[in-house]
Amino acid sequence: IVVDKGGHRHFMLKEIMDQPQAMTAALKDRADFANGRPADVMQLERVVLIGCGTSLHAAQVGRHYIERLAGIPAEAESASEFRYRDPIIGPRTLVVSIGQSGETADTVAAMHLAREKGATLITICNAEESQAARVADGALYMHAGLEVGVASTKTFVASLTILQLLSVYLAETTRRLVDQMARGPGLIGEVLAEANLYSSLARRIGHYDNFLFLGRGANAAIASEGALKLKEISYIHAEGYPAGEMKHGPIALIDPEMCTVALAPRDDLRDKTLSNIKEVKARGGLVVAVLTKGDDEAASEVDFPLFIPQAPDLLMPLVTTVPLQLLSYYIALLRGCDVDQPRNLAKSVTVE
Ligand code: G6P
């Protein structure tokens, strides 16, 4: 395997830039199931998605996909919590573990528990021949290529892509969804083409010491992932919150020293998030918002709009992920942090 930065300053930036290909690779040869859902799928009662770190956030997005597309109850949980509960699962539960490495100790232990309880167990992972792949009944590989940056980026996008595929596979009508998915790499590429905007925004907001990331629906998990990326690589305190929960606590933190990053693309929850944005502005907070291109009304409410292309709901979490990665990257760069190997963190955590 050739490991080079492809002309970029860091592996992380290369891996962010590689995301259209990562999505294409995850989709490749897999989107050919337009014939409706297989009969054994009808027996599934529940889907439980588990993972740690970024993979937990993928699980949280996956839950939305499974429920919305396949109409099967789904839940997402940290593998480190799941393993010490006494989860009610059985043969009609599908447990899906997600992991870049397939070696995270908590995830592997949680999979053993699921197996003992008789669940059907599959794993979504990047590393082939990993422990996760050995424990599972089946593995869906990401084929994202080696990810060197400690903070996961392209494997997050690959995880979401496979979770979409899985949800579509479990759904009844698939063709339209498969067609939509094919647009993903191009939409991500459109955001990446504007990477230099994020570098200049980083110079304007990189000195803030507190960030609040807000989103709703699947974008609540992306807000958590945005906060995690910023914490991991720039050591800035950041919280990810479902926007609707803001009034139950985080709003007390809003003042001119707090930078809020809101995800408010045009979808059925955009108006709700916009009203959260107005609440932040009314309290003197600074607002950066990820908005759909052309949404001038929303843009006029915020300090720094970040525009993304109009995307189908299914693809929205993949597209909103990218601006947050780029923002974290350029802020970390500005602060002189070791982007690829942040302090105290390991690429994979193989002990508890
Ligand atoms: C570590 C890494 C994270 C990763 C997490 C889960 O904390 O630093 O980037 O998301 O482990 O790893 P996995 O291999 O299970 O996805």
Which atom of ligand 1 lies nearest, measured to the CA of 54? 10
C-alpha of residue 55 to centroid of ligand 1, in Å: 7
CB 312 within 8 A of CB 183: yes
Tens digit of pLDDT per residue, the chain (352 long)? 568 999 999 999 999 999 999 999 999 888 665 555 665 666 899 999 999 999 999 999 999 999 999 999 999 999 999 999 999 999 999 999 999 999 999 999 999 999 999 999 999 999 999 999 999 999 999 999 999 999 999 999 999 999 999 998 888 767 778 888 999 999 999 999 999 999 999 999 999 999 999 999 999 999 999 999 999 999 999 999 999 999 999 999 999 999 999 999 999 999 999 999 999 999 999 999 999 999 999 999 999 999 999 999 999 999 999 999 999 999 999 999 999 999 999 999 999 9
* Geometric angle at alpha carbon 99, from 38 and 321, rounded to 5°: 90
Q: Return the SS3 of 342.
A: coil
**Does 52 sit in the ligand 1 pocket, CB within 6 Å?**
yes
**Does 151 sit in the ligand 1 pocket, CB within 6 Å?**
yes
Q: Return the SS3 of 111.
A: helix
Token reading at 161: 């892509």
Nearest residue (by CA) to ligand 1, atom 16, is: 99
Give the DSSP H/E element, type plus range, for residue 99: strand 93-99
C-alpha of residue 349 to centroid of ligand 1, in Å: 7
Nearest residue (by CA) to ligand 1, atom 15, is: 99
Token reading at 24: 């294409």
Span between the terminal Cα atoms of the chain, in Å: 30
Which segments of 171-251 does DSSP mark as H helices, in order?
Answer: 175-181, 184-192, 195-205, 218-234
pTM, rounded to two decimals: 0.94
Mutate to test the pocket of ligand 1, among 152, 233, 321, 339 (most ligand atoms within 8 A of CB): 152
Mutate to test the pocket of ligand 1, among 11, 101, 146, 224 (most ligand atoms within 8 A of CB): 101
ipTM value:
0.97
**If we measure between CA atoms, which residue out of 281, 282, 290 comes closest to residue 223?**
290
**If we measure between CA atoms, which residue out of 52, 146, 201, 128 comes closest to residue 340?**
146
